[in-house]
Structure 1
Amino acid sequence: MDKVRVGVVGLGNMGSTHAKYLAAGVVQGAELTAVCDINPDRLSWAETALGSHITTFDTIECFLSFPDLDAVIICTLHYTHPDVAIKAFAHGLHVLIEKPAGVYTKQVREMNEAAKQSGRAFGIMYNQRTNPLYVKVKALIETGELGEIRRTNWTITDWYRSQAYYDSGSWRATWSGEGGGVLLNQCPHQLDLWQWMLGMLPYRVRAFCSFGKYRQIEVEDEVTAYVEYTNGATGVFMTTTAEAPGTNRLEIVGDKGKVVIEEEKLHFWQLQTPETKFNQTNTEPFAQPESWQCHVPIHYKPNENGHQKITQNWVEHILKGVPLLAPGVEGIRGLELSNAMYLSSWRADWVELPIDEQAYYEALQKRIASSHSRQV
């Protein structure tokens, strides 16, 4: 195979974006051959914007059976990601899913197993893994420059969404339509990056979610979560869609220094003596380890697009066996964090990881049963 024939299912905001750059030939080794959507208006748009040579489908079954198709990008509603992916694997197709991997870990685990059995390439659109800022932080942690991680704090409140946003679709911000709020829609990238950079998941979570606190919605629009790790480290994750101006500040502290990311800049303070060693040898009551603020160069390539980079990597993995930047099976990790935060808030108690998947599924079903779509 010298070219991957790609189809896109779901031509909403992200699906149409992926389809456009694929049709433009931006991704080397990939050719857009088909799109699928149940909305006839979106298919009409595709014929005009993408070209009449692109085959359009209004049913997933016919789309997946199209002979001129090697791989699919899934951009449907959150709940349907695992179901569509499993069907695609059954047709022998490679799969790239949009975030989140799904709504609950039980369905995502089934998708991961189907991917494993199929032997097909499986990726997830975690485009922030290509951001040089987070790549550099991950490298600092993996090389031991920060030492043993002790504390993390992420305040991510610049996901502002007004009531008009939620009213733009009756499925938005409902348990039955979307499956969650800010944790499931806006923050999957941060939840993924959090565990990806640290290289570890917490062993227990205590979260406080506010449901419809600032907006007329069913799901959460504000969250504060506290986590603990087996090595004694702690973490705090705070997010909301109702704060303006918002903040995006990540702080990671180890026994050799700390890093702070804010306003697209990375600041690194390095201790000349690790805190643990300094504490063992110091005899002065008010002394503290000397620290140097180090400049860490961050190189951005002109016009670099994280979505296109993930897609390019996925295609190269199919054609050349290049390692995936964002393997699809890893989508379950950030989702487990959000599931644990929901369950902790509903129970008003700690939740240990690995999460009890059946307990979460049953708790979610209760909320789906009383869910309603808003008429707009």
Structure 2
Amino acid sequence: MDQVRFGIIGIGNMGTSHAKQLLRDIRGARLTAVCDSNPERLRWAKENLPESVRTFSDANAFFVSRAMDAVLIATPHYDHPTLAVQAFESDYHVLIEKPAGVYTKAVRDMNLAAAKSGRKFGIMYNQRTNPLYAKLRDLVLSGELGEIRRTNWIITNWYRSQSYYDSGGWRATWAGEGGGVLLNQDPHQLDLWQWTTGMMPARVRAFCHFGKYRNIEVEDDVTAYVEYENGATGLFVTTIGEAPGTNRFELSGDNGKIVAEDGKLTFWRLRVPEPKFNAEYTGGFGQPECWKCDIPVGEGEGPQHRGILQNFTDAVLRDEPLLAPGEEGILGLTLSNAMHLSAWTSDWVGLPLNEDLFYAKLQEKIKSSTYRKSTGPAGGKLLDVSGTH
């Protein structure tokens, strides 16, 4: 194989963007098929995509066609695992938009199907291509920071107005979207939180406010506290209702602290690790000497979506390592599921997550949801809402 034929299922905002990039920017890739149940989107595809790109209104016909080698799934959140399983069982490589799904039980089934298929599986975690977070991960995992003691991410610059939510009946509903700021805006940060540190919490206590700032049924303001196996603690604060917002990720370790903010990476590095200083210092008041280091990270935010598409294509063609393996999508989703469950039960939630309890609580929310799904692979239409943020 010298070229990967891509088929996209869901050609709304993000699906359309991916289609355009596949047509012009990705070496070794060719767009050969698209699928969407919305006649307007299919009409757009026929009018704007090359005649060689086949169009489908039915997912089953799309999979049976053999018109592609790899399937890019950019549909509603609930449909990601269902369609991915069908794609794997049809012997396709699969790249999914974030989040991996709405609940980890379905995502676990998707991961099992991927492993059984032996095909390539990726997820659109495009923020992993950002040199800021790549450098942060390198500093942490190489041991420069020492053992982590605290993580603290304030991500409150996801401002969204009421008119944003009023633009679609599925938005910010349990049945239509499966969550609010945690599932729509924050999947990237929840992924980066564990990806850059290499750590998942041992337990979570979260306080979610539902419809605090907007007339919606899901969470729009969250403060979560976590504890790790090594005794470190963490805080994750997010909302769509503050302006101006903040995006500041701070990590404290034995060797100092690192802050990622405003596209810059700053390392306050101790000349002597704090545990060693504490064990040897006898002067009472005092603290380790500290150097402020501006860490070079390169210009811009990296290739983003294009970078993930190129990396996935290269993985299929030449077996290059995936920057964002699809199986890792369950990690960030576990964090958001744990936060929801903690808020719903007003209690600590330990990891591994009680997936059956979360699923049962989610079904209760869906039953009272203001949104009612129509027909489709998982009860919803094949419309791209996953990447609209």
Q: What pairs up with 1:83-232 in 2 under 5 angstroms? A: 83-232=82-231
* Partner in structure 1 of residue 50 of structure 2: 51
What does 1:302-341 correspond to in 2, within 5 Å? 304-341=302-339
User: CA contact under 8 A between 2:7 and 2:67: conserved in structure 1?
Assistant: no
Q: Which residue of 1 aligns with 2:18?
A: 18
Output one character per residue of 1:81-103: Cα deviation in whole Å (capped at 9) or x when no partner.
00000000111000000000000
Name 1:248's counterpart in structure 2. Answer: 247
Q: Cα gap change, 1:358/1:157 in structure 2, threshold over 3 Å: closer, same or farther?
A: same
Residues 318-375 of structure 1 show CA distances to partners (whole Å, capped at 9, x for unaligned) of: 110100000000000000000000000111110000100000000000000111129x
Instruction: Give the gaps of 5 or more residues in structure 2.
Output: 373-389
Query: 1:300 Cα shift?
Result: 2.9
Q: Which amino acid is 1:50 matched to?
A: L
Q: Give the alignment partner of residue 348 of structure 1, picking from 346, 349, 362.
A: 346
CA offsets per residue over residues 251-288 of structure 1, 9 Å max, x none? 00001011111111111111000000000111112110
Higher relative contact order (CA 8 A, sep 6+): 2
1:271 pairs with 2:270: yes
Mapped to 2, the partners of 1:286 and 1:52 lie a distance apart of 75
Tell me the SS of whatever aligns to 1:358: helix
Structure 2 residue aligned with 1:372: 370
Q: Is the 8 A contact 2:129 2:302 kept in 1?
A: no
Q: Which runs of 4+ in 1 moved over 2 A?
A: none
How far, CA to CA, are the matches of 1:369 and 1:320 in structure 2? 46
Instruction: Output the TM-score relative to the length of structure 1.
Output: 0.98
Give 3-state SS (helix, strand or coil) of 2:78's partner: helix
Write the distance in 2 (CA, Å) between the matches of 1:78 and 1:189: 14
Q: Which whole-Å deviations, capped at 9, do the CAs of 1:42-79 have from their partners, x for residues lacking one?
A: 11111222222211110101111122210010000000
- Please name the residue that 2:292 is paired with: 293
Aligned residue-pair number = 373
CA–CA distance in structure 1, aligned partners of residues 34 and 361 of structure 2: 35
Q: Deviations over 1:167-223 (max 9, x none)?
A: 111111000000000000100000000000110100000000000001110100000
The residue type paired with residue 283 of structure 1 is: T
One-letter amino acid matched to 1:156: I
The aligned counterpart of 1:8 is 8
- Find the residue that maps to 2:295 and give its secondary structure: coil
* Structure-1 separation of matches of 2:276 and 2:107: 44
Q: Is the Cα contact below 8 Å between 2:130 and 2:303 reproduced in 1?
A: no
Shift of 1:142: 1.1
Q: Superposition RMSD on alpha carbons, in Å?
A: 1.2
Aligned to 2:382: none
Question: What one-letter code is carried by the residue in structure 2 that aligns with 1:186?
Answer: Q
Q: Structure 1: state its 5+ residue gaps.
A: none
| Whole-Å separation in 1 of the counterparts to 2:130 and 2:173 | 31
d(CA) in 2 for partners of 1:67, 1:181: 36
User: Can you list the C-alpha shifts for 1:5-64, whole angstroms capped at 9, x where unaligned?
Assistant: 00111011111100111122x111100001011111111111222222211110101111
Quick one: distance in 1 between partners of 2:218 and 2:292?
41
Q: Which residue of 1 aligns with 2:356?
A: 358
> Taking structure 2 as the reference length, what is the TM-score of the superposition?
0.94
Helix, strand or coil at the partner of 2:151 = strand
Distance 2:92 2:36 in 1: 18
Q: Matches of 1:284 and 1:12 in 2, distance apart?
A: 64
Give the corresponding residue for 2:386: none
